[in-house]
């Protein structure tokens, strides 16, 4: 019996899903998206959003692209998938409303995808499941308030899973991962 062939778009989305899965399985270890470049958030959106899900993004062009998946555009407080190409004070207010799930249904917490710079910026120490001891990563282009908001919001199993995206690289920070912002060495 012959296996069905994947279209190029299917193969690209399959590779993106695999990268996202590995990024969440091994927090702090960058995974590589398939040739995503500046299009990474759109590729991730096309991979995760479908007819049965909803999304939120403050970016009009990205919202139009995600709408073509058949997913429903929703307010930030109701959207299971949220995409922020840039994160400033206005976007942080929206993110503060993101669903965190409930003890009866923790899977209803949002998945948040944020554009950033990996390999520069704030020095973070990650620890928790999927990390041997702890690891340190550099993540830039994000306001310090993001980590304060996350610390105040995420109480595993409640909270949101976070993907940090820079070009073809994606870092997963699941709600079970502790994040400590470290000072720079003097």
Which tens digits make up the pLDDT trace of 82-141? Answer: 999 999 999 999 999 999 999 999 999 999 999 999 999 999 999 999 999 999 999 999
Q: Domain ranges for the chain, please list them.
A: 8-182
What is the largest distance, in Å, between two alpha-carbon atoms of the chain?
64
Q: What is the pLDDT of residue 186?
A: 43
The mean pLDDT value for 1-21 works out to 88
Identify which has the larger pLDDT, 35 or 43. 43
**Whether residue 182 has pLDDT greater than 50:** yes
CATH 3.40.50.11310 fits 8-182, yes or no: yes
Instruction: Please report, rounded to a whole number, the percentage of residues in the chain having pLDDT higher than 70.
Output: 97
**Whether residue 38 has pLDDT greater than 80:** no
Q: What is the pLDDT of residue 4?
A: 79
């Amino acid at each position: 019996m012959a296996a069905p062939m994947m279209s190029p778009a299917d193969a690209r989305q399959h590779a993106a899903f695999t990268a996202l899965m590995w990024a969440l399985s091994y927090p702090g270890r960058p995974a590589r998206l398939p040739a995503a470049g500046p299009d990474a958030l759109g590729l991730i959106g096309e991979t995760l959003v479908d007819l049965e899900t909803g999304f939120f993004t403050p970016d009009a062009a990205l919202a139009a692209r995600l709408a073509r998946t058949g997913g429903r555009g929703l307010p930030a407080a109701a959207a299971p998938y949220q995409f922020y190409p840039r994160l400033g004070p206005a976007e942080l207010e929206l993110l503060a409303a993101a669903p965190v799930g409930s003890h009866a249904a923790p899977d209803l917490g949002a998945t948040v995808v944020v554009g950033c710079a990996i390999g520069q910026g704030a020095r973070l120490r990650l620890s928790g499941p999927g990390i041997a001891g702890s690891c340190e990563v550099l993540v830039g282009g994000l306001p310090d308030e993001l980590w304060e908001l996350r610390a105040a919001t995420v109480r595993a199993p409640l909270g949101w899973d976070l993907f940090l995206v820079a070009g073809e690289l994606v870092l997963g920070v699941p709600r079970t991962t502790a994040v400590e912002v470290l000072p720079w060495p003097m």
